[in-house]
Amino acid sequence: MQVSQISQQPQKQRIEIPIIGGPCDRLTAVLEEFEPGEQEFIIHPQQCGVSPRTVSKVVEREVEVIVPARLHMAVLDMNRFSIERVGGGGIGLGIKVYMKARVRSTKKPEIVVNGERPLIALHFARVFKEILHYPGGFEIELDDHKRRHVGLGSSSGIMCAVCIGINEALGRPFNNRELRRITGYNACEESPADNNYIIRTFETGIGSMVGINGGLVVGSDDAEIIYRAPLEDTKVIILIPDVPSLKDEYTGKDTAADAEVGLLLRRARFLDAQLGNPKAHMILLDLLPAAVKGDLKAIGDSLLDISFTGSKRAECEQHGMCGAPIFHYIGAFREMGAEAAGMSSVGPTVFALTRKPMVYERILKYLHDQGISNSRIIETEVDNTGARIMENNEERNYRDEGWLQG
């Protein structure tokens, strides 16, 4: 019997997730595995409100991009989540923890990816080749911050870094607003089956808004920036607590999609539907005025209220005993004088923001007295600059170049 020499690719799977947000909110979300850059799953510019462009000339250029990680403080409304579009809005903050991408455009049409998260980079390289009709290729090297799926935006940060690098190497066909839309609408991460396929993600766009612009960003549905404010001279203490829900940290597993979707599309949707009006009130009448004034304490007060309201409450509650471990740390940080505290994304990462050196040292002492390992504590600051681009030993950023802001 002759043995076939044809290698067999794993069969693509469909992940069906039944959603019960309430008595009148029952549907099934379907996540399909696909190959990076598969035609059917590429979202073209005109499908997300961006004018189509073409890059027909190949110029070999090399750029390096550094993008800050983000704390995702809250989603505005998870009922706007969809795998077909960017939705939900949110509140995000840039921090001085970084993802890096080196991108080189080449005359050879091949795409070569090295480093971490190669499937994400390969997908976006193929997306840009397709939507720009670009005849050349890319050499891409990636480095993430090694803290995956704990609330620090590893996937969104890598997507942002890759897209900025490609956009720069190709001569900036897209401005700031257009670039974050291309990124958000084509958002993806590795399939939980670990089989070289990817799946679409539920994307708010906050990762790109913060990654490109830095600072504190309030973003609306459909990836529009409502307001951005720098938080000057603000220290950040990040704790990744050991909670019952924490299973795959540091193991190299590249996705948490199956677990997160179950949470985001059930109880979180239900609570946002119930409490959308008070949450909107907190953001419009408390958080935004505080951000305009740069009042960190008032920002923290509104974030504390939001932590017990709507989808953020559901996110905290998943981490053991109805969120008791998470709310314990948030409350402790505030009692010790931190102007702001909360949990990032679906957690379990919790954070404290302060401009007071004594409070900063007090919180660190408290964590060390609790016997928490240094590997679970990150000491950093707010990043108010956003993406940095290095080319020919010169650095530039989007904040200083007005035409890029879109």
More confident call, 266 vs 102: 102
- Where does the pLDDT of residue 3 fall: very low under 50, low under 70, confident under 90, or very high at 90 and above? very low
Residue type for position 365: K
Residue 142 C-beta-side C-alpha neighbours within 13 Å = 28
Say what the pLDDT of residue 19 is. 67
Q: Which two tokens mark 386?
A: 């956003």
Q: Identify the residue with better confidence: 221 or 107.
A: 107
Provide the β-strand partners of residue 29.
17
Task: Report the predicted TM-score, pTM, of the whole model to 2 decimal places.
Answer: 0.88
pLDDT at 4: 36
pLDDT score at 251: 43
Q: At what angle do helices 118-132 and 154-169 cross, to 10 degrees?
A: 40
Q: What three-state secondary structure class fits 141? A: strand
Q: Mean pLDDT for the chain?
A: 87
Is the predicted pLDDT of residue 261 greater than 70, yes or no? no
Predicted confidence at residue 211, as pLDDT, reads 92
Q: Are 51 and 245 in contact (CB under 8 A)?
A: no
How would you label 72-92 residue by residue, b for 16+ Cβ within 10 Å and e otherwise?
Answer: bbbbbbbbbbebebbbbbbbb
Provide mean pLDDT across the span 373-402.
88
CB distance 42 to 131 below 8 Å: yes
What pLDDT is attached to residue 405? 47
The four Cα atoms 33, 38, 40, 41 give a dihedral, to 10 degrees, of 60
Q: Is the pLDDT of residue 237 over 60?
A: yes
| pLDDT of 256 over the 70 cut | no
Q: Is the pLDDT of residue 7 over 50?
A: no
State the pLDDT confidence band at 113, using cuts at 50, 70 and 90: very high
Distance CA 126, CA 67 (A): 21
Q: How far is CA 96 from CA 1, 71, 93, in A?
A: 60, 11, 10
Ordered by where they begin, the domains of the chain are 14-404 (3.30.230.120)
Q: What is the Cα–Cα distance from 299 to 288, expressed in whole angstroms? A: 8
pLDDT classification of 140: cutoffs 50, 70, 90: very high
Whether residue 355 has pLDDT greater than 80:
yes
